[in-house]
Chains A and B, each alone.
Chain A
């Protein structure tokens, strides 16, 4: 099936992602920030879908929106909201922030103006029907070593968390 209204959906998802991303830092209430972050992550999952990467989109929803953010909320709900709302939201580092923003903006402008050769001139049509299988082939084939290193890192993190959380094992 040929894609329909791709431009519309791209702008729609982008707006959703950016607006909720701004919401994450603008809201005073930490629970509202976390909810906005969930919406941003879901918008990102939609963008992955538009890039013909359904597997990445699915994993994004399960891991980030359904797993990590639930733990976030779990912790935030135990925080005293009234106390948190009285704290200062921004740390007033205007100069450093401005410099970083200008540098990032310049980078974007530079890439947009000069970096045309870096990107292919049209979207690459990935095989949507076998996306999961392709990811598996890459992970367990070409990038086997990197994959194993990453899993080792996670294992170390798990053991470290257990050691730190439990006094007596």
Chain B
């Protein structure tokens, strides 16, 4: 038994490839927990950052600086009444949120947080991610149709048209990145997520910089298409509040609605991690070429710990700034405790054994976090597209550019 557990640690592959069910299960649970925490954190961060962009304070009441707001929200959603419209199609109405959530979580099987930190590595990794996430539109369409109401149906129609059109541009951008994995004329390319990052490692460049500016353009196409694919602002027409109340999930409430919410955010994380894997070097640390050598390796391996210590310092600074009134005593203590936990994590991350194991996860997560911040930033700054403009951008701008980049990348790959 003990040998079964430890045998995986020596194998230097993902649990799926090593055929170790126990570790695969542990990884799945860890990813599930991590995602849930990330969604909760995103909920809070989005409201806070948007509020600060609009010169407001955002949630401030529940917990210090509104830190417990997402938990209060989740509780509220769970105890809310679950309403189903009278003329709705019960089975489809029931199964739609499940499909959306399951597809949003399934794609994380192949996301490579590190060379060994993925549930499994598939030969068709990218294809699997795109395919399974393209199934989520089915859930959206089903939800909109089953509600038997006008706004949801309009939202579902918009959503399916939008997702199908942007999927093509997205696919072309992905293919041009996959082409880059084959080095030289005799090299063979790969679709596996881990293989793609290893190809970037072997070629000593992130694909965003390869064949400049081809990689950059492909990345840009993907970055636009992925926002449209996840139905986020400025492409959030399926749920445009001013036109369609809440789009395809207008008739959903309580727990079912929270499933849509969960799926939306984990789909955002999923597409961001495709972008990070394909163009931004996955788990590789920044400046791997320019600042190489053992000293720099050590410096970069200390960054995770310092990041958490910085966060802890912020928490302590705000603890000191809390109002001194006795009414705020519990909140002050809570914030101090939160800072202490962050500091403890930071200190743990300095231990060499942990440091080496956790580094790749940290860099991957940090890159994904940048994308998540960008999502909020888009929402705070860009006005919403009109639907014909959206279609025009997808079919007449992104698609031709994508085909052009694909052809040029193929030519560049043969020539150089």
- What residues on A are CB-neighbors of B122 within 8 Å? 54
- What residues on A are CB-neighbors of B142 within 8 Å? 35, 73
Q: Does A69 reach chain B (CB closer than 8 Å)?
A: yes
Which residue of B131, B161, B164 contacts A61 across the interface (Cβ within 8 Å)?
B131
Given the complex of chains A and B, what is the CA–CA distance between A31 and B146 in angstroms? 10
Which residue of A1, A32, A71, A131 contacts B17 across the interface (Cβ within 8 Å)?
A1
6 contacts between A and B (CB under 8 A): A58-B128, A62-B130, A62-B131, A62-B171, A67-B134, A131-B123
- What residues on B are CB-neighbors of A74 within 8 Å? 141, 157, 160-161
Shortest CB distance A56–B (Å): 9
B127 and A55 contacting across the interface, CB-CB below 8 Å: yes
- What residues on B are CB-neighbors of A132 within 8 Å? 123-124, 127, 190-191
- What residues on A are CB-neighbors of B123 within 8 Å? 54-55, 128-132
Interface size on B, as a range, is 35 or more
Which of B116-163 touch A at CB < 8 Å? Answer: 122-124, 127-128, 130-132, 134-135, 137-138, 141-142, 144-145, 153, 156-157, 160-161, 163
Q: Does B167 reach chain A (CB closer than 8 Å)?
A: yes
Q: Does B6 reach chain A (CB closer than 8 Å)?
A: no
Q: Name A residues whose Cβ lies closer than 8 Å to a Cβ of B.
A: 1-2, 29, 31-32, 35, 38, 54-55, 57-59, 61-62, 65-67, 69-71, 73-74, 77-78, 128-133
- What residues on B are CB-neighbors of A128 within 8 Å? 123
Given the complex of chains A and B, what is the CA–CA distance between A168 and B203 in angstroms? 49
A58 and B131 contacting across the interface, CB-CB below 8 Å: yes
Q: Name B residues whose Cβ lies closer than 8 Å to a Cβ of A.
A: 16-19, 89, 92, 122-124, 127-128, 130-132, 134-135, 137-138, 141-142, 144-145, 153, 156-157, 160-161, 163-164, 167, 171, 188-191
**Interface residues of chain B: helix, strand, loop or mixed (majority):** helix
A35 and B92 contacting across the interface, CB-CB below 8 Å: yes
**Interface residues of chain A: helix, strand, loop or mixed (majority):** helix
Which residue of A1, A29, A55, A65 contacts B124 across the interface (Cβ within 8 Å)?
A55
B156 and A62 contacting across the interface, CB-CB below 8 Å: no
Which residue of B18, B153, B164, B190 contacts A71 across the interface (Cβ within 8 Å)?
B164
A31 and B134 contacting across the interface, CB-CB below 8 Å: no
A70 and B145 contacting across the interface, CB-CB below 8 Å: no
- What residues on B are CB-neighbors of A35 within 8 Å? 92, 142
Given the complex of chains A and B, what is the CA–CA distance between A58 and B126 in angstroms? 9
Shortest CB distance B131–A (Å): 4
Shortest CB distance B103–A (Å): 10
B141 and A38 contacting across the interface, CB-CB below 8 Å: no
- What residues on B are CB-neighbors of A65 within 8 Å? 131, 134-135, 138
- What residues on B are CB-neighbors of A54 within 8 Å? 122-124
